[in-house]
Amino acid sequence: MRSDAIEPRYLKMPHVEKGMAVGLFGGSFNPPHEGHVLVADIALRRLGLDQLWWMVTPGNPLKDHSQLSPLRERLALSEAITPDPRIKVTAFEVTIGQNYTARTLEIVQARNPGVHFVWIMGADSLKSFHRWQNWQRIARTFPIAVIDRPGSTLAFLSSVMAKTFDHARIDEEDARALAYRPAPAWTFIHGPRSPLSSSALRQREETKKDTGNK
């Protein structure tokens, strides 16, 4: 990915102040949709966040890139779908040259001392979380908020992550304190769920093209 194809403002980490509670919500967002926005809104509200970084990744190492839209396009769509000024759309991973979450979070931590970060993920991602590179290191870097997603409410309990870090789970009622807890710490947050997924939206668009519908 050529960084000169991306607006410079997306290539820097968003500005934060010491003492802030900041959510980190990463993904390929291919494309971004209302389900993603719902996760972000729930995280902002239930975790009491001052800011949420909507981290559009150059590419997910665990996913096929053949249908991956250009990063510039995914950034523009993300910006258009997230009107809340507390949500900061960013692609700073291009600048630091990282595709792996564990190393990205360590860099974020080193560059922002005194800021309370929380890693945010949908419950659907929790099932494969143990296949991420250095996944346990991720859990030991920042607290994690797992947001409910359709079909994943019960499945998350059997995930490797939930079993491995069962001792570090905090009650959902204490979610606003999560950012200030030392890692490992995590919680599962129930809430309104959207059935939308990026893969379903891509399939819908492909079907439209095949049938000639607009």
| Alpha carbons 186 and 194: distance in angstroms, whole number | 22
Q: Which domain holds residue 115?
A: 3-211
Helices (H) and strands (E) in the chain, counts: 8, 6
Q: Report pLDDT for 124.
A: 86
pTM for this prediction: 0.86
How many independent structural domains does the chain possess?
1
- Which CATH number characterizes residue 134's domain? 3.40.50.620
Q: Report pLDDT for 194.
A: 55
- CA separation (Å) from 18 to 24, 43, 48, 54? 16, 20, 16, 19
Q: Report pLDDT for 209.
A: 44
Q: Report pLDDT for 63.
A: 63
Q: Report pLDDT for 151.
A: 66
- What are the 10-residue block averages of pLDDT along the chain, 214 residues in total? 75 98 97 95 98 92 74 97 98 90 97 98 90 97 92 76 96 98 97 57 45 48
Q: What sign for the dihedral angle of Cα 173, 174, 179, 185?
A: negative
Amino acid at 143: P
> What does the longest C-alpha to C-alpha distance in the chain come to?
54
| Alpha carbons 51 and 14: distance in angstroms, whole number | 9
| Alpha carbons 205 and 93: distance in angstroms, whole number | 28
